Amino acid sequence: MKVLFIGESWVVHMIHTKGYDSFTSTKYEEGATYLLQCLRDAGIEIDYMPAHEVQVRFPKKREELDKYDAIVLSDVGANTFLLQNATFYNMEIIPNSLELIRDYVADGGGFMMIGGYLSFMGIEGKANFKNTVLADVMPIVMMDGDDRVEAPQGVQPQTVKEHAVTAGLGEWPRFLGYNRFAAKADADVLVKIDEDPFVVLGSYGKGKTACFASDCAPHWGPKEFMEWEHYQKLWARILEQIKR
């Protein structure tokens, strides 16, 4: 299996103030390092595209996506795909990257979105995928505006349907938040938090799709989740279900 994994990277620019004086520092971070290593250890080939590289590296032709069995988006908003450098700075007409993903899935490719502050609708609605063609592709219906559920007390998902993905997982670890959405009528809801779908499978055209409502790593997915004995198994099973 070969997967294109996009997102889970960010730059933090800080101002340090000490009395009268201040200075700045900048650091770059990636959030999916552990997940990607787990998938590679499970025999899955990964091409990783950090969020900031999408604007210059995302394929311009649909055929370039066909070498992948699945595409995963995690914590990277729609603007990153729609406002690429060529268009935003040079006013060039280029292919719509999200339409390329839609067509890839319609022709049999797999697709998954993992939750986060810039997934689904995201913080202040800035991820904004409800207003893109990927809203048709995903097996869920997104909210209008900010869809975050913050849960500092911890919330625990519950398996509601036995399935190849959930078999033998037992008790889930707690999470610190998730994106709230509804499942489409023909979707397969495997896991919920209270009445909110948490793991959802579906299809679009000839392709298969999945949505995971929370983070794959901190901050919503805390250490408890990443150290869960079934962490690697869960992600590998979901990808197995949606692969081309």
Residue whose C-alpha is closest to residue 74's, from 130, 13, 122: 122
Kindly indicate the confidence band of residue 86, based on its pLDDT and cuts at 50, 70 and 90.
Answer: very high
- The crossing angle, in degrees rounded to 10, of helices 33-41 and 231-242 is 70
Give the Cβ contact number of residue 90 at 10 Å. 9
Measured between alpha carbons, how far is residue 75 from residues 19, 89, 219 in Å?
Answer: 36, 24, 12
Please name every residue paired with 178 in a beta bridge, in sequence order, or none if there are none.
149
- 136: helix, strand or coil: helix
Q: What would the pLDDT profile of 179-215 be if each residue is shown by its tens digit?
A: 999 999 999 999 999 999 999 999 999 999 999 999 9
215/217 Cα distance (integer angstroms): 5
Taking residues 175-182, what's their average pLDDT?
98
Residue whose C-alpha is closest to residue 28's, from 4, 10, 50, 7: 10
Cis peptide before 230 (omega within 30 of 0): no
User: Can you give the pLDDT at residue 95?
Assistant: 96
Output Rg (C-alpha) for the chain, integer angstroms: 18
User: Can you give the pLDDT at residue 53?
Assistant: 96
Percent of the chain with pLDDT over 70: 100
Q: Are strands 196-204 and 175-179 parallel, antiparallel or unpaired?
A: unpaired
User: Can you give the pLDDT at residue 217?
Assistant: 94
User: Can you give the pLDDT at residue 71?
Assistant: 98
Kindly indicate the confidence band of residue 110, based on its pLDDT and cuts at 50, 70 and 90.
Answer: very high
Judge residue 32's burial from the number of C-beta atoms within 10 Å of its C-beta, 0-12 exposed, 13-18 middle, 19 or more buried: buried
User: Can you give the pLDDT at residue 13?
Assistant: 97
Which of 62-83 are b and which e, b meaning 16 or more Cβ less than 10 Å from the residue's Cβ?
Answer: beebeebbbbbbbbbbbebbee
Measured between alpha carbons, how far is residue 36 from residues 50, 68, 188 in Å?
Answer: 12, 15, 25
Kindly indicate the confidence band of residue 122, based on its pLDDT and cuts at 50, 70 and 90.
Answer: very high
Return the sign of the alpha-carbon dihedral for residues 172, 178, 182, 186: negative
170/158 Cα distance (integer angstroms): 9
User: Can you give the pLDDT at residue 144?
Assistant: 97
Kindly indicate the confidence band of residue 32, based on its pLDDT and cuts at 50, 70 and 90.
Answer: very high
Kindly indicate the confidence band of residue 149, based on its pLDDT and cuts at 50, 70 and 90.
Answer: very high
